[in-house]
Structure 1
């Protein structure tokens, strides 16, 4: 079958390991189902896989793609939940041995993917396959950060660090729909304009002094924005962290942390129930992901180059 895959780990030049070509059809274990993939969306996680982060060398070649939407053998249109874990924990994201597609199991950038039967949910008719393919990682991460982990309420002010990535654009859209006052930071006028077009109430240059402190800051950037994040949250407020694209080693600023009684909360992906709620919320509110580029899978390298260069303006989607 056709697939977009990582041939081997390459920490220094990840795109040199990217391949577009044929891979064997997947075997289907008991309790798993085959999804005829119609669309998949690109995530930073796919670049980490190319670099060899979170995956053992003997697991290559690895088909890329955490997210996807497609059709089951009986014709049911589905969205794929990419977290595979032990449900006895109640929430599979707390299983220390949990995995994502592309870590132990082949991913969605292919004609077909196999996943546990519980890892598919009905696709709302209101979402296209390309839109639905954005839900399982970036939008699910944003949903959990906002509604499960932050404690923020409608009418309060939230700051999103970074204005144009998949999680950031999802946070803007979801926060606005839920009644928050949404502020963002962005490195360029184009990125800030994108956030405003999605409903942000104000957009600021990266590191700019804000008019007032906010109730919660949503962090996916890390080292480059952490000092600004800690200065921007009000006493007793929350910092919710789901990534560190600029590096994972910021100064903790512990004096500010304890003196201002700031809550720093980690958040990783989301569980199946949260994905179901996210899909229902998007259907109810008519929400759609910002898609910056939609390319056929045969042109996947172009999408990877855009992400590596930081040229994203919403999600990058690959279609079949």
Structure 2
């Protein structure tokens, strides 16, 4: 089968280990279902896999990709939930200590077909294209959980989204503005700040800028580069909701500010199958759609990886199969 896979890993030159070509189809575990992939989407997770983060070297070669939409063997149009919980696990999949994501232990979604547990399939509504649906299982599901499950601030509150432009950030802006939040955003790029306004942000600021007032919640997926600003931007009693650290995992703690102002630091990871179903329903009900930066044929996957590696992205990069 055709696939995009990690052949080798390099922290300095991750894309050197990327291969696009024929890959032996895997033998599926018992109880898994096949999906013939129509579209897959690129995430930072895929770049990190090529850097040796989250993907063990002894698992190589590994098909990349956490996100897929396609058709199962019964002819159903489906979206693949990429969080693979351990056999017999019940409840919130993100709390399973033995969970994994597609492409960590099992071959991922950037291939002609992907095999997943039957419980990981969610019906794709006709209102969403395969390309739009493929954007949802990682970035958009992460944003949905951050905003509607973890975030303590109700609609009508003022929130700040750091690093507007990436998949999670654009999803947060779109979802939050549709849900009635007052959305502010930051970016180093004037073009990305302008785009954030088009997505529904009320105001957009340069990275690190002093805000007109403090906010109820900051959503931070950037980490080291924005962390101090995130804490300084909060009202007393406010919260930072963090899902990642694309700029570095070790931000300054600034604990004095945290305890004197009674701030909350709330972690959020991916989302559950039930949340993915609700996200799909939300998009159908509101008309909100994922922001797609570009759609490329699977054979040109390297171009998409380089685009993400260079930070030249607004929204999601999607591969058409």
TM-score (structure 1 length as normaliser) = 0.99
- After superposition, residues 65-104 of structure 1 pair within 5 angstroms as 65-86=65-86, 88-104=89-105
Alpha-carbon shift at residue 88 of structure 1 (Å) = 3.0
Alpha-carbon shift at residue 104 of structure 1 (Å) = 0.2
Cα distance in 2 for residues equivalent to 1:219 and 1:44? 15
- After superposition, residues 100-249 of structure 1 pair within 5 angstroms as 100-249=101-250
Which stretch shows the higher mean deviation, 214-223 or 28-37? 28-37
Alpha-carbon shift at residue 17 of structure 1 (Å) = 0.2
Alpha-carbon shift at residue 26 of structure 1 (Å) = 2.4
Name segments (4+ residues, structure 1) moved above 4 Å. none
Cα distance in 2 for residues equivalent to 1:62 and 1:41? 16
Cα distance in 1 for residues equivalent to 2:249 and 2:2? 35
Report the 3-state secondary structure (helix = DSSP H, G, I; strand = E; otherwise coil) of the residue aligned with 2:314: coil
CA contact (8 A) 1:119 1:272 kept: yes
Alpha-carbon shift at residue 27 of structure 1 (Å) = 1.8
**1:13 paired residue number:** 13
Cα distance in 1 for residues equivalent to 2:46 and 2:310? 14
Report the 3-state secondary structure (helix = DSSP H, G, I; strand = E; otherwise coil) of the residue aligned with 1:158: strand
Report the 3-state secondary structure (helix = DSSP H, G, I; strand = E; otherwise coil) of the residue aligned with 1:316: strand
Alpha-carbon shift at residue 28 of structure 1 (Å) = 2.5
CA contact (8 A) 1:26 1:112 kept: no
**2:59 paired residue number:** 59
Report the 3-state secondary structure (helix = DSSP H, G, I; strand = E; otherwise coil) of the residue aligned with 1:68: strand
1:69-105 Cα deviation digits (max 9, x unpaired): 0001111000000000136351110011110001001
**1:284 paired residue number:** 285
Cα distance in 2 for residues equivalent to 1:57 and 1:156? 45
Alpha-carbon shift at residue 29 of structure 1 (Å) = 2.2
Long gaps (5+) in structure 1: none
Cα distance in 1 for residues equivalent to 2:143 and 2:170? 9
**Cα RMSD (Å) of the superposition?**
0.8
1:32-60 Cα deviation digits (max 9, x unpaired): 10000000000000001111111211100
Long gaps (5+) in structure 2: none
**2:25 paired residue number:** 25
